[in-house]
Amino acid sequence: MTELYLRVENLVSGYGDLTVLRDVALSASPGKITVVLGANGAGKTTLLSTITGVVKAQAGTIELLGQDVTRTPTHLRVRQGLALVQEGKRVFRQRTVEENLALGGRHLGRRDRAAAIEVAYRRFPVLKDKSRQKAALLSGGQQQMLAIAQALVPEPEVLMLDEPSAGLAPVIVKELLATVRTLRDEGKAVVLVEQLVGEALSVADQVLVLNRGHVVIDEPASAVTEDDVRAIYLGVGAMTT
Ligand SMILES: Nc1ncnc2c1ncn2[C@@H]1O[C@H](COP(=O)(O)OP(=O)(O)OP(=O)(O)O)[C@@H](O)[C@H]1O
């Protein structure tokens, strides 16, 4: 059996009386990119928020590295190896690049944190060049790199990215996807939520498509075409149960 870093089963989740996700399953394995697609409002962000624990699961289970974390507080899930780069550039703009990275490792000891920041600079040399600059002065693509680098400081096994390409120029999106591939090749289990269907499929190992909170496709990337996904967005694809 393939080793799973993240296993979500029968997940039901939403906000108060509003149920958004119904019976959702997702898994992520080391060295693989699981791409999550779906039209606006399909429930992609809700899925990531429930996996982190910011939104409470109403039913179902979430396992991280073999441990049931369904009722574990968010900060402990993070310590157990989960990271989320939220949609939008979640860097502290008035802090320097290095201060942002240090925040990513605030629960580490001083030495470990310093070592982790060095790893971040090796991964993203441009951040080393700008280590003392305020994050606000970075380009949009560099801010997204910083957000990813910050999430990687504790060396999570599972890295989830919510629409990292949003607002970035196509050439920067290419660079970003190359980075995501590198992280996959380092052995991270990556969960990538994207609006850019073609680009996302080009890096995917496994593809999950949500439609109104249901999983309508969960297949290896080789079995899914852009047309399959677009048909679902247009409401003519696989029927929900
Ligand atoms: N904090 C919230 N409170 C109440 N309803 C919410 C909240 N966040 C999202 N929703 C609703 O949950 C549903 C799914 O939203 P979600 O953001 O998960 O979709 P999405 O697939 O990520 O869409 P998008 O691509 O537009 O971000 C939508 O109907 C949305 O209005």
Instruction: Band the pLDDT of 240: cuts 50, 70, 90.
Output: very low
Nearest residue to 46 via CA among 167, 162, 164: 162
Residue 164: CB atoms within 10 Å = 26
Instruction: Band the pLDDT of 88: cuts 50, 70, 90.
Output: confident
Average pLDDT score over residue span 115-133: 95
- Identify the structural domains of the chain with CATH numbers, from first to last: 1-81+157-240 (3.40.50.300), 89-155 (no CATH)
CB-ligand 1 contact for 18 (6 Å cutoff): yes
Residue-level pLDDT at 239: 46
Q: Structure tokens of 236?
A: 């003519």
Residue-level pLDDT at 241: 39
Share of the chain above pLDDT 90, in %: 89
Question: What is the whole-number distance in angstroms between the Cα of residue 18 and the centre of ligand 1?
Answer: 10
Question: What is the whole-number distance in angstroms between the Cα of residue 43 and the centre of ligand 1?
Answer: 6
Residue-level pLDDT at 89: 63
CB-ligand 1 contact for 38 (6 Å cutoff): yes
CB-ligand 1 contact for 46 (6 Å cutoff): yes
Q: Go through the chain and tell me how many residues it has.
A: 241
Residue-level pLDDT at 152: 95
Average pLDDT score over residue span 94-121: 93
Strand ordering across the sheet containing 32-37: 82-85, 158-162, 189-193, 32-37, 206-211, 214-220
- The residue whose C-alpha atom lies closest to atom 30 belonging to ligand 1 is 41
- pLDDT per residue as tens digits for the range 174-205: 999 999 999 999 999 999 999 999 999 999 99
Residue-level pLDDT at 235: 77
- The residue whose C-alpha atom lies closest to atom 28 belonging to ligand 1 is 41
Instruction: Band the pLDDT of 106: cuts 50, 70, 90.
Output: confident
Residue-level pLDDT at 205: 98
- Whether the pLDDT of residue 162 is over 70: the answer is yes
CB-ligand 1 contact for 44 (6 Å cutoff): yes
| Gyration radius from the chain CA atoms | 18
- Whether the pLDDT of residue 149 is over 70: the answer is yes
> What rounded mean pLDDT belongs to the chain?
93
Are the CB atoms for 206 and 26 separated by under 8 Å?
A: no
Average pLDDT score over residue span 127-147: 95
Average pLDDT score over residue span 3-28: 96
17, 44, 195, best to mutate for ligand 1 pocket (most atoms within 8 Å of CB): 44
Q: What is the chain's percent helix, strand, coil content, to nearest 5?
A: 40, 25, 35
CB-ligand 1 contact for 53 (6 Å cutoff): no
